[in-house]
Structure 1
Amino acid sequence: MRLAARQLPPAARWCLIVLGVTVCYFATARIGIQWAIVREQISPLWPAAGVALAVPMLLGPRFWPGIFLGALLTNIALGPSLVTVMVITAGNTIGPMLAYAVMRRLGFRTRLDRLPDAVLLVAVGAIGSTAVSATLGTGVLVLGDGLSPGDFWATALVWWTGDAIGVLTVTPLLLLAPRFRMPKRVPLGRWGEAVALALIGLGTAVLASTATAKLFLIFPVLIWAALRFRQAGALLCSLCVCTFTIVAAARGLGPYGSYELAARMLHVQAYAATVGLTALTLSTIVLQRDRATAEITEAWLQVTEMVEMIAPRQSLRSAITQREDDELAG
């Protein structure tokens, strides 16, 4: 199928990829809407934002119409007016494209194998660009009488939180997906450790969303996941924790139930950002360590091979020199 796609004319291939991006954005947006707490369209977890940022990074910026169409299909049924929908859709498209342009300018690499790449993804992708779409979308809702002016900040915080956490949890997984390969000949003990990590991670994520004193239980699990299963394990744990935390906060449960909406979203944003940043940076540092160890090992093997090649020649030269010295002495 991949070979057939490559044989398509460039225009047909572009349309096919745009259609795929539109479907992916719309599907993940529908998932986010299930947790909407403002106007049934603003959710504290918006995985579509993570998809939108990953699209230009993986496929290229020329497929931005897929983001626009996906956002348009999502928002057009929610209103309140066509002008408002178009502005919100434009904001959903401009935010990730702006983040992509800035991150590319600063040397971002999609392999996420360097600490600066992780920092850029958090600072520019998750925090900076999402503020653009949140502010623009909330502002046009207020101007279009979809919201009262007094609800601006609370709504903007919910919007910003949802987009930022969507980027933190979904985008790294999508960037890693093209390089994922199913491991072969995995020992049974390794599978047992993976199952144990999954069960303990899920249980800890549920516990962390029930009480303030239990919020920090997840960090030993994140360390375990990063050290043993690298980025894939740590990021999946982060996604689970953020999902349970946001669901609890959206329903007024757990450690966030006693706060007003704006304060609740600030607490959720701080906690989710801390979890996501810890998972991403720690697993990236471990990956850097592995790469440095592999480079040192390779260099040592090369030096060893050179020594083995030089040693016989050096011995032969020593023997010739010794013979010449003996002849001169004789």
Structure 2
Amino acid sequence: MKFFALPKSAVRLTAVVFVAVIYYSAAKLGLLLVSLPGNVTPVWPPAGIALAAILRLGYGVWPGIWLGEFLAVSTSIDGSPAVVFAVASGCAVGDALTPVLGAFLIRRFIGYSNLLNRVSSVFKFVLIGGMLIWLIAASFGTTSMCLGGIAPWSAYKAIWWTWWLGNVGGVLVFTPVLLIWSQPISNFRLPILDWALLKTGKTRQQFKNRKFKIPNLKLVEAVLLGVLVMFVSYITFRRGYPIEYMLIPLLVWATFRFGQRGATLSILIVSGIAILGTVKGFGPFVRESRNESLLLLDSFIGAVAVTTLVLAAAIAEREQAQNAMLQSETNLREKAAQLEFTLRDLQQTQAKLIQTEKMSSLGQLVAGVAHEINNPVNFIYGNLTYADQYTQDLLNLLSLYQQHYPQPVAAIQDKQEVIDLDFLMTDLPKLLSSMKVGANRIQQIVLSLRNFSRVDESGMKSVDIHDGLDSTLLILQNRFKARSGHPGIQVIKQYGSLPLVECYAGQLNQVFMNILANAIDALELETGNLELRDECTCSPPNPQSSISHSPVTTQESPIPTISISTKVRDDNLAVIKIADNGSGMTENVKKQLFDPFFTTKPIGKGTGLGLAISYQIVVEKHQGNLKCISEVGQGTQFIIEIPIIHKN
């Protein structure tokens, strides 16, 4: 946060004073390296501190820079108070104006966020912030010194050149390290993290809330690297061994392994040791003139700093490219997953619509057939009553003829013998009665079919659940019968006393159909497997299908059985249980039982949507519950629970 932007004047004043103290202290340290008249030094750390302060804290801290420079200059030169004040003011104006202008140009042409993160930005920073703008400070300071008589005009060129190089060196060494290390530590990311992300396939977002933590091995490496940098710098610039080139691989190591923080800190360490050694007269840059030695050192520091910063920026650009690639890959994966989910959802919806349409078509077909059959059946059933009456009248008339004319003519007697009149008179009433029973049965079947379809009842109605169960059993009756390779299936009905239940009758009948059909499939598969395993020569029992209201006694080879029971629970909950004595299910199958498209049937034998749709009908449409209880070898039981009366 920028202090100058805060509304409290005390905070702004604190920031200004803080900058002034830091600037003044750094200036006093820099003045220890004075090599020319006018207290001019070839290494000037305050320049880098000033530019970093403006960039980091804002333009509002410029008075602190002016004050620090004024105090540093005024306490280091001799002269009358007026001259000291004028010279110090001129130097302070130049050194305060320069970083303000530099910060403006950097923000305008480079951008603060990308200042050291791109190679092109580093070169712009070196050109604008490190070289061009300090022409102003060097001109203000040198001119002020000469005008005040602190330095002779004959030394103007040397002073100006030394002043400018000192500012450039201070910026290249101190500004990057202050800007990088003043960032929150949470933003510090080791390059090894990119490798870990690529190996694990995780994204930056997954590490967003994690606290930064340096591994122990990495800490040991950092300490070792720091010791090596200081050791090589020491023996180079304090012992005089010309091995300064050995610093280059160490700086490269620091840059690759520890990023911009490691690079800038290493530059600071090398520069500090090099300056101290050169001032003491050690190192490869020592010449007869102290100023010449420090200027050569400035060129070395500048070259090392620029090279290292460029390398760090190149690595940062690579990291940014990797981050962008990882983010793009993550986005693509997320979009692919979304598309896959959407496609799967569309497929499920399409399949459900097809299945629902099938059931709707079945209901319409059943209703249409029932309607078409109902009219002629009613016609037949109604006419059978009159046909029975007419037949009785004719038979009574024949009986009277036989009583009054016991000896008919020969032709009539011959005809009686041909048609077997006595048998005809006895069998004809039985035949008509049988036809009447059959017509009545057809009427019941038609009524059950219409009850199953419920095409005229799209809303929720109060219905008898038992009628829906019976109509479903009627439609599936043919599958209960024994046939070649499969014994008959016993159906046990244990109906409780259920009141009328508010429900979507047609949809609930679809649930009964799906569960009962699955139970029949399971029993047929089980009996088929038993048939393959049974190699005994005895003939197995072949029971006929039947629907009873009492339990069946257990035999050595149990009869395939489906049990249906109903009851009321908690006063407002109708419970329907449909169980079979098949082979049961594994836990893995039960976990996926209500998932769309999951089926254990062979390809082409099922869509895997029956139970998924049933679950949706019971749970979502009726606010009920559909559970499955099953164990391997213990059969399967489905429990349907729906409210009798829906309060909402």
What TM-score do you get using the length of structure 2 for normalisation?
0.46
Task: Report the 3-state secondary structure (helix = DSSP H, G, I; strand = E; otherwise coil) of the residue aligned with 2:144.
Answer: helix
Tell me if 1:142 matches 2:146: yes
Alignment-derived partner of residue 151 in structure 1: 155
Match of 2:171 among 167, 171, 175: 167
CA contact (8 A) 2:36 2:291 kept: no
Describe the superposition over 1:74-129 as per-residue Cα deviations: whole angstroms up to 9, x where unpaired: 11112342211211111111221221222222133245322233222211122222
- Paired with 1:110 and 1:205, the residues of 2 have a C-alpha distance of 32
Describe the superposition over 1:197-231 as per-residue Cα deviations: whole angstroms up to 9, x where unpaired: 10011112224436584222111111111100001
Q: CA deviation at 1:304?
A: 1.5
Structure 1 alignment gaps of length 5 or more: none
Task: Tell me whether 310-319 or 178-187 shows the greater mean CA deviation.
Answer: 310-319
The one-letter code of the counterpart of 1:276 is: A
Tell me if 1:51 matches 2:55: no
Q: CA deviation at 1:237?
A: 0.9
Task: Tell me whether 189-198 or 214-223 shows the greater mean CA deviation.
Answer: 214-223
- Paired with 2:341 and 2:172, the residues of 1 have a C-alpha distance of 57
Flag the structure with larger Rg: 2
Pairwise mapping of residues 154-303 of structure 1 onto structure 2 (< 5 A)? 154-181=158-185, 184-209=212-237, 213-261=242-290, 263-303=292-332
Structure 2 alignment gaps of length 5 or more: 79-83, 187-210, 359-648
Q: Number of residues paired by the alignment?
A: 321
Q: 1:265 to 1:32 in 2, by over 3 A?
A: closer
Q: 1:243 to 1:158 in 2, by over 3 A?
A: farther
CA contact (8 A) 1:44 1:250 kept: no
Alignment-derived partner of residue 12 in structure 1: 10
The one-letter code of the counterpart of 1:204 is: V
Q: CA RMSD in A?
A: 2.9
CA contact (8 A) 2:278 2:293 kept: yes
Q: 1:297 to 1:186 in 2, by over 3 A?
A: same
Alignment-derived partner of residue 132 in structure 2: 128
Describe the superposition over 1:215-259 as per-residue Cα deviations: whole angstroms up to 9, x where unpaired: 221111111111000011111111122222223333443222235
- Paired with 1:203 and 1:236, the residues of 2 have a C-alpha distance of 15
Larger helix percent: 1
Task: Report the 3-state secondary structure (helix = DSSP H, G, I; strand = E; otherwise coil) of the residue aligned with 2:284.
Answer: helix
- Paired with 1:318 and 1:105, the residues of 2 have a C-alpha distance of 54
Pairwise mapping of residues 30-45 of structure 1 onto structure 2 (< 5 A)? 30-39=28-37, 41-45=39-43
- Paired with 2:260 and 2:221, the residues of 1 have a C-alpha distance of 16
The one-letter code of the counterpart of 1:201 is: V
CA contact (8 A) 2:35 2:291 kept: no
What TM-score do you get using the length of structure 1 for normalisation?
0.86
- Paired with 2:336 and 2:300, the residues of 1 have a C-alpha distance of 54
Task: Report the 3-state secondary structure (helix = DSSP H, G, I; strand = E; otherwise coil) of the residue aligned with 2:61.
Answer: helix
- Paired with 2:26 and 2:72, the residues of 1 have a C-alpha distance of 10
Q: 1:253 to 1:314 in 2, by over 3 A?
A: same
CA contact (8 A) 2:242 2:283 kept: no
Alignment-derived partner of residue 62 in structure 1: 60
Describe the superposition over 1:5-54 as per-residue Cα deviations: whole angstroms up to 9, x where unpaired: 99x85333322221121112112212222333334832232211111111
Task: Report the 3-state secondary structure (helix = DSSP H, G, I; strand = E; otherwise coil) of the residue aligned with 1:256.
Answer: coil
Higher relative contact order (CA 8 A, sep 6+): 1
Alignment-derived partner of residue 109 in structure 1: 112
CA contact (8 A) 2:35 2:290 kept: no
Alignment-derived partner of residue 26 in structure 1: 24
Tell me if 1:98 matches 2:132: no
Q: CA deviation at 1:154?
A: 2.9
Task: Tell me whether 75-84 or 248-257 shows the greater mean CA deviation.
Answer: 248-257
